[in-house]
Structure 1
Amino acid sequence: MTGSTDGPARPSERRRATGRHPRTRSVVRGLLGAGLAALLVVPAGTAAWAGGGPGGNGQGGGHGDALTRAQERTLLRYADDTWASMAAMADEQTGLVADQIDADLGTPSAYTSPTNIGGYLWSAVVARDLGVISKKEARDRIGTTLETLSELERHEPSGMFYNWYAPETGEKLTTWPDSGDVVHPFLSTVDNGWLAASLRVVADAEPKLRKQADALYDSMDFGWFHDTEAADGAGLNRGGFWVDQPGDTCTVPGNYGDDDDAPEVLYTCHWYDTTVSEARIATYLGIANGQIPAKAYYGTLRTMPDEGCDFGWQEQKPEGVTREYSGVSVFEGTYEYADMRLVPSWGGSMFEALMPDLFVPEAEWGPRSWGVNHPATVAAQEFHGLEEADYGYWGFSPASDPFGGYREYGVEGLGISSDGYASDEPATDVDRGYDGCREATNPEPDYGEGVVTPHASFLALPYDADGALDNLAGIETDLGAYGDGGFLDAVSTDSGTAAERYLSLDQSMIMAAIGNALDDDALKDYFVDRSFEKTVRPLVAAQVFGSTMPR
């Protein structure tokens, strides 16, 4: 495969460009000295969304005003409680964290995924850096997890991990623990991306474990997921693959690896083909490692094309211009929302847009793309919750359903899918039509009971810290969605019905966001080395979205 001329970064090259060490800032040490029991709480209240938008100046990119001491103390309290739920989900013998645990922090679930494991690893680093746990405890926890990872069953030709394991034993799951239903072992592109991201963090954050983390990271070949023929030759990542046929599921046989003698696998029939997606983390890693061609960064779609009515099923008619990057023609489509324009995600959720931004300094590197789109996404979510739907709260992302099960929450009008992720119960389908192709069926909906997901507010911290912390304070004190393990996974805004559980993925996003907010983007420093920046930053810097903040 073609890729970066520098090739993959070797373990000896993995050093942060800033050279800052140790991680913990004096302000964090000072907060710890104040004692966790005496930490202040930001007063409850709901921020009013205003035309200036997140960041204060409407320009996007970078952090807003500095946190106050009271805000820092509140975030540290949140980190301490959130870590308690992560620790309760982690098996002491294997170091594998469960997918979820009930609010009483009693019995964790009997299954976990690569993303969950990765989230636990970076959460342990954050907990150490903020003084929530000792350096020795963090090293012991991370070391146990790395040792187990080295022993887990994997797809050997690619080095990729299967999607479900038993936390207590590390065995690959072939039956679902709760129901006994058959599990067809799958290897997910995005889940392996998040685990690999955590290994990069660990390798830089914990020098005594660098060799183990690097060995695991270097064995993972993201080229196995990448279809170089997709998107007119720009290339796209498949959703993943199976080794054996998964029942009646649609599959595509093939072998994208660089070993022609390796057995074929069965790929998903879909690609990750949208730009604003959490799956872009795998593309970043593959390009940085020289396993995916650099031009693949431009292979994804901002919106579906504006080509007659062929794509008239999408949420709204996009506007934009066509540009060329590295020989790849890109339609820079945007949607209009709340007096701004932005590149939408598939479902309109916060984590699709902002989870990769926890590790890759997208807003800094892409001032003409992510530097506007990220704060615009936050402003749009605020507008929806506070003005359009009038819930009094905001922050919508996939999470536990307070009324049972799991739901993909989002701002439906911000998603490409015309029946995207709703923000309420029951789900409201917003349909404002598509000019000349689809008549509007529900252009001015009456929304039901809103459901907010606290991790979405934490993801917004870099772009509206005051608004996010005010929102979280209300969720904690007015809605009561807080327990011994931090914020409960989701809560309804009318009845205050909360999902009485913690999901390790969502808790790990909270830990990462707090770590970056209190420790000057520490996780980005751990994740990005010189080779990564040299390879990826020019790709991000070159792109120009049509996004705008409110006028």
Structure 2
Amino acid sequence: MRSRSHPFRTAAVLLALGLTATVAPPAAAAPPTAAPAGSPAAALRQYAADTWRSMAAMVDPGTGLAADNVGGDLDPADRAGYTSPTNVGAYLWSTVAARETGLVSAGQARDRIARTLATLSRLEVHEPSGMYYNWYDPATGAKLTTWPVDGSAVHPFLSSVDNGWLAMALTVVRQAVPELAGRADALLRRMDFGYYYDPAQRQIRGGFWVEPPPGCSLAGNYRTGPDVFYTCHHYGAFNTEPRIASYLGIAAGQIPPEHYFGTYRTFDPEGCDWAWTEQRAVGQWRTYLGVRVFEGAYRYRGLQLVPSWGGSMFEALMVPLFVPEDRWGPRSWAVNHPTYVRAQIEHGLREAGYGYWGFSPANDPDGGYREYGVDQLGMDGPGYTSDQERTSVDPGYGECRPAQPPPSGYGRGVVTPHASFLALRYAPDDALRNLANLRRDFDAYGPGGFYDSVDVTTGRVSKRYLALDQGMAMAALGNALAHDVLRRPFEQGPMQQRVAPLMRMEEFSLPHGGGQR
């Protein structure tokens, strides 16, 4: 059985480690290479080279900002006319991963990152908090007030989670590129995540506007200075991607450590107040740092786990690409992460019977963008579904909501390749097999690696590359091929000192052995 405290050890043996041989930088529009043959390490090296090609193709050469997405042929004319802090962060950490895997030289990586940092230093930000707005023009760096796709109005917003991913990438740069550490640190020092933290709720807000937007907002300021206009919602679910902002705020001393225990593992199952959620949780109450926590879990087809909000892969597994949760939380994350992967595999291969698995928000093969997931792995009642028809399961909520008959079948399943890369640490053989099958059976692979999503029923493919999704793939590949290069900055310093002890003290309500059945 795999060690719970070192879940990547099997993959490290599998990949033989030390895989940092120099590879010539690929041309931006080169065709995809033939399907990889031989060792898993060779497949990962090829996936990294091609994925990096798509990341590089999204970048404006003048500003060093990555566009949100680009067409499948990597034509610069088909870059999106907008970008976000997350997209820029994805390019920064991908550049470090490309350097460490030999895809670019140290000098090339330094020049690329320096250009991006220089632009970041000039972008308009909310000066009191140092936070970045959610949308900029990647060609000019201008803050967007008009959406380039349709001309609609943009009300400039400052997102807690998007700024979290940019700050995380700047932390990687600060540690991994000493020549640029000072520049990255200057940008980090002005970012105050305390602006998002609501002490009355012990939770962070989704973000804020500087000017009152249409719809719901709440005027106030958790720090000092003029009022801003907060979202009416908090990020209340624990196992979701906004926890990166929480960790960074705690590590910086801007958010108190009690916040770690202020979000919901699941809601309290007593009574009917939370009967709109997916299912009645099992678990027990515990107290940490004076905060009572219901250590709740959901049951799914013989497994027991702490759910995410919608049931998608990136909610649960994007954060541990960087933060070693599974090492710091031996009685929590080390059990939950591999179980979550096992549940996604169970759904795709057995419950839905698609023959493939891995469900996460992505570009929709039918057009647009959509959340995909496994409904039963999310707290939200409707959840994110794995098929276009939005087939869901309602197990009921005790006497508050009767269970509904299970669906007779599922429709057009949509599989997202980046989900397999997120699973690589926890189920390496399954992840590599799933990727190989997707490439073999569909037109799912192009000059920039795997396209964004595949309708595995009709064979329709979304032939675009998204900076976020390719960035997750690049991070997983960099870690696999270069000794967890993107985790190293967080294994020491403030994150290790202030966040790791919180994870060590917690115990989820999970069977010993996690995903083992």
**TM-score between both structures, scaled by the size of structure 2:** 0.93
Q: In the TM superposition, what is the alpha-carbon distance from 1:441 to its structure 2 partner?
A: 3.0
1:85 aligns with 2:34: no
Who is 1:123 aligned against?
94
1:243 aligns with 2:206: no
**3-state SS in 2 of match to 1:320:** strand
Q: In the TM superposition, what is the alpha-carbon distance from 1:307 to its structure 2 partner?
A: 2.2
Instruction: Report if the CA contact (8 A) 2:20-2:100 is conserved.
Output: no
Q: In the TM superposition, what is the alpha-carbon distance from 1:329 to its structure 2 partner?
A: 0.1
Who is 1:387 aligned against?
350
Name which of 456, 460, 481 aligns with 1:497: 460
Listed as ranges, the matches of 1:150-169 within 5 Å are 150-169=121-140
**Runs of 4+ deviating beyond 4 Å:** 30-33, 35-43
- What is the aligned-residue identity percentage? 55
**3-state SS in 2 of match to 1:128:** helix
1:209 aligns with 2:187: no
Name which of 221, 227, 238 aligns with 1:255: 221
In structure 2, C-alpha distance between the alignment counterparts of 1:122 and 1:507, rounded to whole Å: 11
1:301 aligns with 2:268: no
Who is 2:71 aligned against?
102
In structure 2, C-alpha distance between the alignment counterparts of 1:190 and 1:298, rounded to whole Å: 18
Instruction: Report if the CA contact (8 A) 1:42-1:470 is conserved.
Output: no
**3-state SS in 2 of match to 1:332:** strand
1:28 aligns with 2:28: no
**3-state SS in 2 of match to 1:371:** helix
Higher relative contact order (CA 8 A, sep 6+): 1
In structure 1, C-alpha distance between the alignment counterparts of 2:101 and 2:502, rounded to whole Å: 33
1:71 aligns with 2:40: yes
Q: In the TM superposition, what is the alpha-carbon distance from 1:531 to its structure 2 partner?
A: 2.7
Instruction: Report if the CA contact (8 A) 1:429-1:442 is conserved.
Output: no
Name which of 289, 310, 314 aligns with 1:326: 289
Letter in 1 for 2:510: S
Letter in 1 for 2:502: L
Who is 1:477 aligned against?
440
- Segments of structure 1 that go 5 or more residues without pairing to the other structure are 1-24, 44-68
Map Cα deviations across residues 467-493 of structure 1 (whole Å, 9 max, x no partner).
Answer: 000000011111220000100000011
Letter in 2 for 1:104: D
Q: In the TM superposition, what is the alpha-carbon distance from 1:30 to its structure 2 partner?
A: 4.3
Instruction: Report if the CA contact (8 A) 1:339-1:550 is conserved.
Output: no
Listed as ranges, the matches of 1:423-438 within 5 Å are 423-438=386-401
Q: In the TM superposition, what is the alpha-carbon distance from 1:153 to its structure 2 partner?
A: 0.2
Q: In the TM superposition, what is the alpha-carbon distance from 1:41 to its structure 2 partner?
A: 5.1
Who is 1:287 aligned against?
250
Q: In the TM superposition, what is the alpha-carbon distance from 1:445 to its structure 2 partner?
A: 4.1
**3-state SS in 2 of match to 1:253:** strand
Q: In the TM superposition, what is the alpha-carbon distance from 1:494 to its structure 2 partner?
A: 1.4
Who is 1:418 aligned against?
381
Who is 1:56 aligned against?
none
In structure 2, C-alpha distance between the alignment counterparts of 1:41 and 1:206, rounded to whole Å: 33
Instruction: Report if the CA contact (8 A) 1:139-1:206 is conserved.
Output: yes
Q: In the TM superposition, what is the alpha-carbon distance from 1:135 to its structure 2 partner?
A: 1.3
Letter in 2 for 1:391: Y
Map Cα deviations across residues 408-464 of structure 1 (whole Å, 9 max, x no partner).
Answer: 000011111110100001211221211111122342341001110000000001111
Q: In the TM superposition, what is the alpha-carbon distance from 1:29 to its structure 2 partner?
A: 3.5
Q: In the TM superposition, what is the alpha-carbon distance from 1:183 to its structure 2 partner?
A: 0.3
In structure 2, C-alpha distance between the alignment counterparts of 1:486 and 1:501, rounded to whole Å: 10
**3-state SS in 2 of match to 1:427:** coil
1:441 aligns with 2:404: yes
In structure 2, C-alpha distance between the alignment counterparts of 1:328 and 1:266, rounded to whole Å: 28
Who is 1:11 aligned against?
none
Q: In the TM superposition, what is the alpha-carbon distance from 1:504 to its structure 2 partner?
A: 0.4
Map Cα deviations across residues 274-294 of structure 1 (whole Å, 9 max, x no partner).
Answer: 110000000100000000001
Instruction: Report if the CA contact (8 A) 2:22-2:103 is conserved.
Output: no
Who is 1:15 aligned against?
none
Letter in 2 for 1:200: T
In structure 2, C-alpha distance between the alignment counterparts of 1:387 and 1:187, rounded to whole Å: 41
Instruction: Report if the CA contact (8 A) 2:32-2:447 is conserved.
Output: no
Name which of 474, 492, 509 aligns with 1:546: 509
Q: Structure 1's 300 and 83: CA in aligned 2 closer, same or farther, altered over 3 A? A: same
**3-state SS in 2 of match to 1:72:** helix
Letter in 1 for 2:233: H
In structure 2, C-alpha distance between the alignment counterparts of 1:357 and 1:40, rounded to whole Å: 31
Q: Structure 1's 42 and 337: CA in aligned 2 closer, same or farther, altered over 3 A? A: farther
In structure 2, C-alpha distance between the alignment counterparts of 1:30 and 1:273, rounded to whole Å: 44
1:358 aligns with 2:327: no
Q: In the TM superposition, what is the alpha-carbon distance from 1:26 to its structure 2 partner?
A: 7.8
Who is 1:14 aligned against?
none
In structure 2, C-alpha distance between the alignment counterparts of 1:39 and 1:327, rounded to whole Å: 56
Name which of 457, 460, 465 aligns with 2:428: 465
Instruction: Report if the CA contact (8 A) 1:253-1:266 is conserved.
Output: yes
In structure 2, C-alpha distance between the alignment counterparts of 1:169 and 1:38, rounded to whole Å: 31
Q: Structure 1's 30 and 164: CA in aligned 2 closer, same or farther, altered over 3 A? A: closer
Who is 1:369 aligned against?
332
In structure 1, C-alpha distance between the alignment counterparts of 2:491 and 2:191, rounded to whole Å: 18
Instruction: Report if the CA contact (8 A) 1:491-1:497 is conserved.
Output: yes
Q: Structure 1's 382 and 31: CA in aligned 2 closer, same or farther, altered over 3 A? A: farther
Moved more, 462-471 or 524-533: 524-533
**TM-score between both structures, scaled by the size of structure 1:** 0.87
Instruction: Report if the CA contact (8 A) 2:17-2:481 is conserved.
Output: no
1:522 aligns with 2:485: yes
Map Cα deviations across residues 333-389 of structure 1 (whole Å, 9 max, x no partner).
Answer: 100012111000110000000000011100011010000000000000000000000
Q: Structure 1's 38 and 413: CA in aligned 2 closer, same or farther, altered over 3 A? A: closer
Map Cα deviations across residues 281-315 of structure 1 (whole Å, 9 max, x no partner).
Answer: 00100000000001100001011111211111111
In structure 2, C-alpha distance between the alignment counterparts of 1:391 and 1:132, rounded to whole Å: 35
In structure 2, C-alpha distance between the alignment counterparts of 1:26 and 1:385, rounded to whole Å: 30
Who is 2:312 aligned against?
349
Instruction: Report if the CA contact (8 A) 2:83-2:138 is conserved.
Output: yes
Map Cα deviations across residues 56-111 of structure 1 (whole Å, 9 max, x no partner).
Answer: xxxxxxxxxxxxx7111111100110111111110000000000011011110000
